[in-house]
Chains A and B, each alone.
Chain A
Amino acid sequence: MTRLLEKWAVDPPLVFAIFAMTLFGIAMIYSAGVVHIPNAVTQDAWVKQAAWFAIALVAFTVLARVPLRWIEWVAVPSYVVGVLLLAITLVIGTGAGTAIGVKSWIRIGGFGFQPSEFAKIATILMLARVLSQRKEPLTSLRDLLLPSVLVGLPLALIMLQPDLGTALAFGGILFAILFWAGTPVALLLLVASPGVGLVLSFDTRIWSAYIVGVVAFLYLYRYRLFLFESVAVVLANVAAGTISRPLWESLKPYQQNRILVFLDPEVDARGAGYQVIQSKVAVGSGGLTGQGFTLGPQKRYDFLPEQHTDFIFSVVGEELGFLGTMAAILGFAFILTRLVRMAEESPDPFAGLVLLGILGAWLVHIFVNVGMTVGVVPITGIPLPFVSYGGTFLLMSWVAVAIAVRVAHER
């Protein structure tokens, strides 16, 4: 029996950890529905999530037995399909639930799904496919051009929806895969530097010091880069600093508000800051041991926003306390390090790159979702893998698990 289960799981440590995490998620979704004034949608969400879990397990069982070469072969067509679907979504897409204004869903009959979840896996496979061909590290900006375009295309389409959270996940995928393909960390930092510059440009003095730092870094790093590349990095940084103000002004007031509120939620405690404050109150009042499963008053009295989806971790914090949040974070730590371990042990370049791509996506999801419940990250609509309520997302996450165990264990 045990052997049979191990055989089913292909990689028992990863799969059983994720299995437990999904059960934990269903329990928390159940708890999120236990409120003072019951609401049919949130009350039955856990049942739906359990049903989706069953479907996800079937999908996992099947996909975990697909030969690696098939997966490799399907990378290009699925990427093309994924990008096309994203383009179509912009035209016929609809919003759903809490993100009603965002065009990220395609509905066919009563069934709806998010093409971006599919595109995420397709992009991972595509990048891994392309980069697994080369054995030498990517050392110049020119080497990074093709991977950046491959990620940039779906990312741009998702930004148009707009869905910042999922777009961030694509950034995570790109950096994780580039890293595993041997790109030096210094070069990755240079690529990321215009983004950092954009943020720092709110203060001219800090930004000036930062630019001096970038130039100094480029000088130390000069023997690794072509001159035009160094110039491009500096120009990109200067451009980022220049456009920051027009960019800020082009943001919609609610978007500006989210950023201002991130810096200080109390500036608008009844408006945009409400969610962060209520979430922090819930997490904070959980204390060390929590209010007890299903017993969180903040949650019960409906003070928590989106408590079964984006803010599910606030429920964890309120009801299970610091011990509960640490257990969950350690669980994720185990899952993520297990992915790294599998990549390390797999001699197949494609397998390693796929595993790191999945890691990059999940790490971003976890950091942003958990971080926003305590105000470490601005509020972004992004679900927590295996825990947040959401059928497509759970299914696609388990598809990712199936691909991960398959690519890692095919000898």
Chain B
Amino acid sequence: MNVHHAHERRRRARGAQLMIALVLGLLAAAFFRIQVLGSDAWELRATSNRIRQLSLPAPRGIIYDRNGDILVDNVPGYAITLLPGPLDEARETLERMSAYVEMSEERIERVLATLRRYGREVVVDADADFETVSALEERRAEFPGLYLEMRPRRRYLLGEAAGHVLGYVGEITAEELASPSFAADLYRQGMVVGKNGIENEYEQQLQGRQGLRYLEFDARGHIVGDFGGARTDPGESGQDLHLNLDMELQAWIHSIFPDSMAGAVVALDPADGGVLALYSAPSYDPNEFVGGISTDLWASLTADEGNPLYDRSVLGLYAPASTWKLATAGIALDLGVVTPDEFMAVPCNGSFTFGARSYRCHLAEGHGFNNLAQAIGNSCDVYFYQLGLRITLDELLRRSTEIGFSQRCGIDLPQESQGIFPAERAFWERRFGYAPREGEVLNLAIGQGPNSQTPLKMAQFYLAIASDGSAPTPALAQGANEGEGWSLDLAPEHLESLRDGLRAVTAPGGTAHIRTSLEYWEVLGKTGTGEHAESQAGTAPPHAWFAGMAGPFGGPPEIVVVVIVEYGQSGSSVASPIMSKTADFYLRKKYDIPFDTVQTYLEHIQRGPVPAWYRERYPTNAGSR
């Protein structure tokens, strides 16, 4: 058989034609399926391929202080966004970009992973500076897929002075997106939300609604123009927020608080519980968090032993120490177990023996016989030991719990610590594994023992003393005080007795006199020396408290200020001047009196002679230190 015979050739030619028909027929069928049967779906896909819906961030609401001054606003910022495209190209773009924007290999991988996972734009740098953006813009062609846009950038005008109370903003996390507090129809991946403080508490109000714009792109990510087929939705700006805070007061506190020390200052307005200032030291600058905090800074903030991220004003729990004696006194007066003028059976000779134990007074030589006001003025522990015994342990636990020392204040912040105070004897068994001895009441009566309170809680308590015995819930935002607040249920004359005690502290001879006496205002207050584990072991000084109030002479107090300085040794030397200078600043501003940085009596006499106002007020005492 000759394979090249004409007959054989014809047979094989038919086979070859069949093969051609099969192969090309298969191709034709594939094109028919895609182009004729599936055309609509592909056409839609082609359109969405070119048109990209990009979010248009709405500016967050402005935050104002009580005088209408801006605390937090928005300034134009720049964001660098990477649009979805082929991964290789995206990687090249990012790698080339790292010459202009600091980007680690790890960061590049993360951006690419997000791009792969969501298939939509990824914000590479939410807070690029102008120079970087212009450098990239000039070399647009080298960076396919990059989209540079202006977006509002949060600005905190007080910086470090109001870090904790205002909080900061950051990109929404996957967990936040999934949580019910972020409404699904409002929040999208990549949005900026309040992370802490006021920014977080009033997130819903401040956020506004994100808009949309439709841009036509080519595959290289070059913008062709706005897409005519759909209209831009500008979104809605967030609502503004007005706070009770006094911006200048907050800044003033930041400037007078000892630099190297930690602590907190709370200033409240007795009229409505409005928070005039809420300060925690050390602090941080929320501006550093905008657009993502740098890894280095975050590491240094979290590693810092001073714990600058911790808001001591509402989270810090401290033994209230002698500032608590006012609570003991109030309860005793209310129970009728003591009258203001009465002396205790045992005079103070430096210690008090109860059972087999001796309980010391802070003054070794003793205070002798004291009435209530004198006992507060001298902070006499022996008087309060006996007062505690008169109240009895059970009654002290019941009344203190009733007043609310184991509850939160309910301030409008996302976080607040609950005070610790035993509600019943079982507390000791649960916590320490033993039944409380009757002697526990002695410790509790002077503010030690299992009693920890936040500076904010103590401020609320002193607010009640400053007014009619009731204290509204402290509120940062204007019109926010909806909580019931609490009431001491004390008769007006009893409150007056307590205030007389506080007056004795700042009167000539009182522990805080020289550092709290002011030209224009009457200052009342109580020092406190908060013992803690380290101070009891003798390795560190105790915490210094000063809780006080001030106002024009003869009138009710118009500001309540509580100060705690960690390891501050004594309330009178470190904490009390912060309180009086804070009150002076606020009241001078309120009454339009020119401001002076030399405020307290001590400051005056350190710089010159005894001031005339002091001579007038205390003619016999002038010159005392």
Contact = CB atoms under 8 A, between A and B. Distances in A.
Interface of A: 35-37, 135-137, 176, 179-182, 185, 268-271, 274, 278, 280-288, 297-298, 300-305, 317, 321-322, 325-326, 329, 332-333, 336-337, 340-341, 343-344, 347, 349, 352, 356, 359, 363, 366-367, 370-371, 374-376
A344 B5 CA distance: 10
Contact of A322 (B16, B31, B219): B31
Contact of B43 (A135, A285, A333, A336): A285
A270 B46 contact: no
The 4 tightest CB contacts between A and B, nearest first, are A284-B42, A182-B3, A301-B218, A285-B46
Interface of B: 1-4, 6, 8-10, 12-13, 15-17, 19-21, 23-24, 26-28, 30-32, 34-36, 38-39, 41-43, 45-46, 49-50, 84-88, 90, 115-116, 119, 216-220, 222, 224
Nearest to B3: A182
B222 A37 contact: yes
Nearest to B43: A285
Contacts of A283: 31, 34-35, 42
Nearest to A301: B218
A317 B31 CA distance: 8
B39 A303 contact: no
A285 B34 CA distance: 9
A301 B219 CA distance: 6
Contacts of A280: 34, 42
B143 to A, nearest CB: 13
A349 B8 CA distance: 12
Contacts of B15: 179, 185
Contacts of A363: 19-20, 23
Contacts of A37: 218, 220, 222
Contact of A301 (B17, B87, B224): B224
Contacts of B85: 270, 274
Contacts of A322: 31-32, 35-36
B119 A269 contact: yes
B12 A374 contact: no
B35 A288 contact: yes
27 contacts: A180-B16, A270-B84, A270-B85, A270-B86, A274-B87, A283-B34, A284-B42, A287-B36, A288-B36, A301-B50, A302-B218, A302-B219, A322-B35, A322-B36, A325-B28, A325-B35, A326-B28, A329-B27, A332-B24, A337-B17, A340-B17, A344-B9, A349-B4, A363-B19, A366-B23, A374-B30, A374-B34
Contacts of A340: 13, 16-17, 20
A261 to B, nearest CB: 12
A285 B20 contact: no
Contacts of B8: 182
B20 A344 contact: no
Contact of A179 (B16, B20, B30, B42): B16
Contacts of A304: 219
Contacts of B31: 283, 317, 322, 325-326, 329, 374
Nearest to B38: A284
Contacts of A181: 3
A287 B39 contact: yes
Given A340-B13, A363-B19, 16 more contacts: A270-B116, A271-B88, A274-B87, A281-B45, A284-B39, A285-B45, A298-B50, A302-B219, A322-B36, A326-B28, A333-B24, A340-B17, A344-B10, A344-B12, A366-B23, A371-B27
A377 to B, nearest CB: 9
Contacts of B34: 280, 283-284, 374
A175 to B, nearest CB: 10
A194 B84 CA distance: 42
Contacts of A274: 85-87
Most buried by B among A181, A344, A363: A344
B34 to A, nearest CB: 5
Contacts of B42: 280-281, 283-285
Contacts of A375: 30
Contacts of A305: 86
Contact of B16 (A278, A359, A371): A359
Contacts of B24: 329, 332-333, 336, 366
B13 A336 contact: no
A297 B27 contact: no
A278 B219 contact: yes
Nearest to A345: B9
Given A337-B17, A363-B23, A297 B119 contact: no
A274 B85 CA distance: 8
B2 A135 contact: yes
Given A367-B23, A371-B27, A298 B49 contact: yes
Given A269-B119, A333-B20, A363-B23, A343 B86 contact: no
A4 B519 CA distance: 120
Contacts of B16: 176, 179-180, 340, 343, 356, 359
Given A281-B45, A283-B31, A285-B46, A271 B13 contact: no
Nearest to B27: A370
Which residue of B17, B36, B219 has the most chain A CB atoms within 10 A of its CB atom? B219
Contacts of B1: 136-137
A303 B218 CA distance: 7
Given A271-B116, A284-B41, A302-B219, A344 B13 contact: yes
A287 B43 CA distance: 8
A317 B35 contact: yes
A284 B35 contact: yes
A268 B87 CA distance: 10
A280 B24 CA distance: 18
Nearest to B23: A367
